[in-house]
Amino acid sequence: MDTVIYLLVSTNGQAFDGHGLDVQERQCREYATRAGLEVVSALRDEGLSGTLPVPERPALMDCLTMLRDDLAVVLVIARLDRLARALTTQEVILAEAWKYGSEVHPADTGRVPKDDPDDPMRTAMRQMAGVFAELDRADRQAAERRPQGQGSQGRTPIRLVPVWVLQARTRAE
């Protein structure tokens, strides 16, 4: 299936902390190869926040246009939080891709299943992961504003694994 890769780094620091564009692109291309997807394009939004609305992210707009115009049928991202750091933005992007009959595949977890009215837990778990991505971003911003020497009160970043990933791993075993 023809695939477009979307890459996003919002800060210069991400280029050095394992989330840089080259690292993301490598992860996405490796995933596409394993999944039998043919990459037709890789588009980058550099230095833009994942909290920005879709129209303010030119490469993401181009990705969605490719899906709409059937130039690609799959959107691959390194992680779901690279698509959006705000839950509302994440859900709008997913709905838009699904409206075009397309799929969204985070390289770390695989295809995001489309909402199913008979499986509300699927939607809830995806949205909870989005809530925690948003919380993580807000917590990092709060830490940057704290005076030197005041820690995060012992909190550590939270990384959730979506339920469909756990189910797929269980079936594979």
Nearest to 107 by CA among 31, 42, 17, 11: 31
Run means of pLDDT, 10 residues per run, the chain, 173 residues: 92 57 94 97 88 90 97 95 84 94 95 91 87 80 72 54 62 60
What the block records as the tokens of 81 is: 């939080």
pTM (global) more than 0.95 = no
| Phi and psi torsions of 5, nearest 5° | -100, 135
Nearest to 76 by CA among 13, 18, 31, 23: 31
* Superfamily of structural domain 2-106: Resolvase, N-terminal catalytic domain (3.40.50.1390)
122, 163 Cβ separation under 8 angstroms: yes
41, 112 Cβ separation under 8 angstroms: no
pLDDT at 47: 83
The full set of domain ranges for the chain reads 2-106, 120-172
pLDDT at 38: 98
Give the containing element (helix H, strand E) for 45.
Answer: strand 38-46
pLDDT at 15: 47
For 111, residues 6+ apart whose C-beta sits below 8 A from its C-beta are 103, 104, 105
Amino acid found at 13 = G
pLDDT at 42: 97
